[in-house]
Amino acid sequence: MTDLSLPAQVPGGAVLSARERAYRYLRQAIMSGEIPAGTRIVEERIAESLSVSRTPVREALQRLGTEGLIVRIRRGHLEVVSVDDAERSELHMLRVAIDEVVARLLTRKVSDIDWSKLYDHLVPLGDAATVHGIHSPAYAMAHLDLHMAINDAAFTRQASLTIGRRTGLYPTDDYVQQEGYEPVEQHRQLLDALSSGDENQAVTAAFAHAMRGRPSSMRDDMSGVRRSFDGGTSA
């Protein structure tokens, strides 16, 4: 894995614990396939890559184990499990559904949201893309931080913890490979739509943004979802 110290602080002043940083990065990397199925997990190497001690890495791995993403094999070794296309497809459908709810909720409380804090996330996103590249752990984390902040703004605290903070729903592996992709501008357009106060515009933009995250074959499978959202209007 890339030698990288992940940022402990995100825009708005929120400080992430070393355990949460390790968990977010590892879960994102497993779900996106950056850490492939069958990879043997070595605590020392992960800790060194993320510039944290072994304790938060061990705690993050325990959490991933309870989620079924890591299994203990012979001699106590840890190994990444397989996440197949069907599972990824289901997760993406869940992401689309959550993003629609997020768009509707933000529209209904648009005047209560501190939009400047959400737009502030575009700065580390752009920095990560420029310095480390859009395929880097730094970019994946900045991208995830932005979407978690959007969801946190939409949901109440408990709903966010239960529904909105699903870190595996926002991979960057397919999303960033699309022709003409420009990370900051694409996410700025999403925030512009979400903050517009127009519910249809917000929902349509959220759907279009989510669909960029999957290959064309999966977009075909999702064609009916858009119709269920708005009665047949295309994104």
User: Looking at the DSSP assignment, which residues form a beta bridge with residue 79?
Assistant: 40, 71
Query: Does residue 226 or residue 192 have the better pLDDT?
Result: 192
Phi/psi of residue 174, nearest 5 degrees: -80, -35
Residue 6, in any domain of the structure: no
Whether 106 and 200 share a structural domain: yes
Whether 99 and 61 share a structural domain: no
Residue with tokens 């894995």, as numbered in its chain: 1
Predicted confidence (pLDDT) at residue 132 exceeds the cutoff of 90: no
pLDDT in tens, 170-218: 776 555 555 667 889 999 999 999 999 999 999 999 999 988 766 544 4
The residue range of the domain holding 127 is 85-230
Q: Is 178 helix (H, G, I), strand (E, B) or coil?
A: coil
Residue 1, in any domain of the structure: no
Predicted confidence (pLDDT) at residue 138 exceeds the cutoff of 50: yes
pLDDT in tens, 30-73: 876 778 888 998 888 888 877 788 999 999 999 888 888 899 88
Short-list 144, 163, 167, CA closest to 154: 163
Tell which of 30, 45, 80 closes a domain.
80
Beta strands in the chain (DSSP E): 40-41, 70-72, 78-80
Whether 101 and 188 share a structural domain: yes
Whether 47 and 89 share a structural domain: no
Predicted confidence (pLDDT) at residue 129 exceeds the cutoff of 80: yes
Predicted confidence (pLDDT) at residue 27 exceeds the cutoff of 80: yes
Whether 123 and 190 share a structural domain: yes
CA dist 31 and 91 (Å) reads 10
Whether 180 and 151 share a structural domain: yes
CA dist 119 and 99 (Å) reads 17
Residue 4, in any domain of the structure: no
Whether 197 and 217 share a structural domain: yes
Total domain count, the chain:
2
Tell which of 80, 107, 125 closes a domain.
80
Q: Give the domain CATH number at 49.
A: 1.10.10.10
Tell which of 60, 80, 100 closes a domain.
80
Per DSSP bridges, beta strands 78-80 and 40-41 are antiparallel
Residue 38, in any domain of the structure: yes
Q: How many other C-beta atoms lie within 10 A of the C-beta of residue 224?
A: 8
Whether 62 and 174 share a structural domain: no
